Copies of this chain bind each other. A is one copy, B any other.
Amino acid sequence: MGYLKMSKDELKKEREALLKQYEDYKGKGLSLNMARGKPSPEQLDLSQPLFDSLKSTDSYFSDDGTDCRNYGGFDGIVECKHLFADILETSADNVFVGGNSSLNMMFDTISCFMTASIYDDTLPWHDVKDRKFLCPVPGYDRHFGVTGYFGFEMIPVPMNEDGPDMDVVEKLVSEDESIKGIWCVPKYSNPTGITYSDEVVKRFAALKPAAKDFRIMWDNAYAIHDVTDTPDTLLSIIDECKKTGNEDLPILFCSTSKITFSGSGVAALAASPLNMKVLKKRLTYATIGYDKLNMLRHTRFFKNYDGLKEHMKKHKNLLAPKFKVVIDSLNNELKDAEIADWTNPNGGYFVSVNVYKGTAKRVVELCKEAGVVLTGAGATYPYGNDPDDSNIRVAPSFPTVSELETAMDIFCVCAKLAAIEKII
C-alpha cells in the first residue's frame, strides 16, 4: 500500500520493521559504493589486450607515416581521427584528438572562450561580468563544476523525458545575451539516462540565441553505451545544424574512458571550422600534440568502428545484469510504497531516482551509516542545490552483482525509512 494512504499506526509499524532490517545491515559493517560512474574491474579487463596492442616489435608509424614516438601530429593521428569521426557522426576534418579526458577538453574549451573572443565583435567571457550558463537538471556535477569554477551564474533548466524543456531553453537564450551556453549529455543523459528526442535535437539546431557566441556543449559521453537490446537513437546535431545554418552552435565531445580505460583512454572533440579555428589558435600554443602512442594503441586494438561496437557488446553483457538488479530492486521494494520514481534507461551509467520530496539528503546519510556510499544528494544540481531535495543518482557499474543487490536493498530500506520520517 502507498505510504500516503497508510494510517499513522500502520506507518509506525512499517517503520519498526524497516528499522530492524536497517540495524541488521548496519551490523554487517559493509562497504559498498554506488557513487561514481566507474567501470568495474571486469569491464577494465575487457581492454586488457590493449596493454599488448603496441609491442616494442610493432610498427610505431601511423597510417600516414608519422613516427608516433616523436613530436608532431598536432590534431591526432589520422586513423584515430577517423574512429572518433565515426563515433561522433562527422568527418575526420572536424575532429581534434586530445589527451585522456573529454572533461579536460570541455574545461579547456570554456577556458579558451574565457580569454579569447569567438568573434571580432564579441567579448572574451571573462569580460562578461554577468555571464550565465544553462544547466539541465538533474545533470552532471562535473559539468556544473567547470562553469562554476569560471564564475558563471548557472541557471537550472528542467529535464523532461525527451531532453531539456525546450520552451524554457528557447525563451531564456533568445532574451538574455549574457547566457553563453548550455551543458548537454544528449544520449543516455547523466543521470536520468534519457536520450534527446528528434524534436529536441531539431529545436536545439534551430535556436536563435541573443548571444552570437552562445555554444552548446554536446557531451556525447555515452554515444555507443547501450545496456539493453532496444537501444536509443540520437539525431545528429551536426547534420541538423547544417540544415538550419547554425553549424557553429554545437561543440561535440567524447572519449574512450568508458570504452577502454577510464584513466588512460583517448578523448576527442568535433567542431565547425569557425569554432575549430578559435580552439586551434589556443591549442597551437598549448601543446605540440597529444599522446600519439596511446592513440595508436587504441586504433590497433579496435581496428575499426565495427571492432569498437563489438567491444561495446561485451560491456553491455557486464552492465545489463547490474541495471536489472537496480530496476528490479526498485520495482520490488519501492513501487508499492508510492514514494519514489525512477528512470529505466537503455544505456549509459546511471539510474536517476527521485525519492520522497525533502528526503534525498537523509537517504544518502542513512545509506552512508549502513556502509553504502551514494553520490551526494544535490550533486546533480548546480551549487549542489536540489530545491526538492529529492534526486539521487545511482551508479551501478562498479560493485559486483551481489554487492549491488545488498546495496540496493539497503537503499530501498533507507528511502522508505526517510519517507516515513517525513510523513509522520
A287 to B107, CA, bound (A): 8
Q: Which of A282-319 contact B (CB under 8 A)?
A: 282, 284-294
**Residue on B nearest A147 in the bound complex, by CB:** B285
Is A405 positioned at the interface, with any CB of B under 8 Å from its CB? no
Residue ranges of A at the interface with B (Cβ–Cβ < 8 Å) = 36, 38-39, 41, 44, 47-52, 54-56, 58, 60, 67-73, 99-101, 103-104, 107-108, 111, 114-115, 124, 126-127, 142, 145-146, 148-151, 257, 261-264, 281-282, 284-294
The 9 closest A-B pairs by CB, nearest first: A264-B293, A51-B56, A107-B286, A69-B261, A149-B285, A44-B69, A71-B262, A100-B291, A145-B285
Whether B291 lies near A291 (C-beta < 8 A) is: yes
Measured CA separation A284–B282 after assembly (Å) = 21
How distant is A60 from chain B, measured CB to nearest CB, in Å? 8
Residues from chain B with Cβ under 8 Å of A264 in the complex: 68-69, 291-294
Are B55 and A51 in contact, with the CB atoms below 8 A?
yes
* B residues less than 8 Å from A146 (CB atoms): 285-286
Are B293 and A263 neighbours in the complex by a CB distance under 8 Å?
Answer: yes
- B142-A285 in contact (CB<8A): yes
Q: Which residues of B contact A145 (CB under 8 A)?
A: 284-285
Closest to A146 in B: B285
**A294 neighbours in B (Cβ, 8 Å):** 264, 291, 294
B285 with A69: CB separation less than 8 A: no
- Best-surrounded residue of A127, A148, A288 (most CB of chain B within 10 A): A288
